[in-house]
Structure 1
Amino acid sequence: MAKITFIDSSGAKRTVEAEPGSTVMENAIRNDIPGIEAECGGACSCATCHVYVDQAWADTVGGPQPMEEDMLDFAYDVRPTSRLSCQIKMTPALDGLVVTTPERQG
């Protein structure tokens, strides 16, 4: 299984195991990660699972698709590495992924 490290806005870290094919958001919800609300349940129709992908992982994760980019307009404090965690599917290449949750969602 792959690992994802979530860092909250205060710097606290939590690492969880993630099944390949699952999303970063699903793993956050399963593991009660604070800062991920996921109001739409992963349908890419809200921006409450917004995360910042660590710069070291940005190229591997890639950028948002147009629909996700549109939803990011509703996110709080969008940055160049902002993504919706419901749109990041875990693969073996993402083992060790690091994401930070924003100070607040939406």
Structure 2
Amino acid sequence: MVKVTFIEENGTKREIDAVPGDPLMYAARDAGVEGIIAECGGSAMCATCHCYLLEAPNGPLPKPQPAEADTLEFMANEPRAVSRLTCQVTVTEALEGAVFQVATGR
């Protein structure tokens, strides 16, 4: 398991376990992270799993693919350079210790 921290919209920090190979959204949704709605089920269409990557202690994540980048640009509330759709972030050992802030204002 890979430990990742989510900061919920109300400021609560939640360290969760994520399964390598799965989309990060699955772990957040299954752990009940407040604000991860995942309406489209992981197809990068709704931006209801939008988070900001605050810390990546093991190096940067791969850049968003075009579908993720387009959804962030046109669907996400307050997109930033550090915006990611957690449905498009695959859990790897390199994600250990990463910190994500759930985007606000859905």
TM over 0.5: yes
1:11 CA displacement: 2.0
Partner of 2:79: 78
TM-score between the two structures when normalised by the length of structure 2: 0.90
Match of 2:15 in 1: 15
Give the structure-1-normalised TM-score: 0.90
Deviations 1:59-91 (A, max 9, x none): 521321111111112100111100100000010
Shift of 1:46: 1.3
Task: Choose 91-100 or 8-17, whichever is displaced more.
Answer: 8-17
Number of residue pairs aligned between Structure 1 and Structure 2: 104
**Corresponding residue SS for 1:70:** helix
Q: Please state if 1:100 is matched with 2:101.
A: yes
The question of 1:89 aligning with 2:90 is answered yes
What SS does the corresponding residue of 1:61 show, helix, strand or coil?
coil
CA displacement, residues 36-74 of structure 1 (integer Å, 9 cap, x when unaligned): 1110000112111100011x3295213211111111121
What's the Cα RMSD here? 1.5
Partner letter of residue 103 of structure 2? P
Could you tell me which residue of structure 2 aligns to residue 43 of structure 1? 43
- The answer for the alignment partner of 2:56 in structure 1 is 57
- What secondary structure does 1:76 align onto? coil
Structure 2 counterpart of 1:15, which letter? E
Contact 2:9 2:103 in 1 (8 A): yes
Separation (CA, whole Å) in 2 of partners of 1:103 and 1:41: 19
Distance 2:78 2:45 in 1: 18
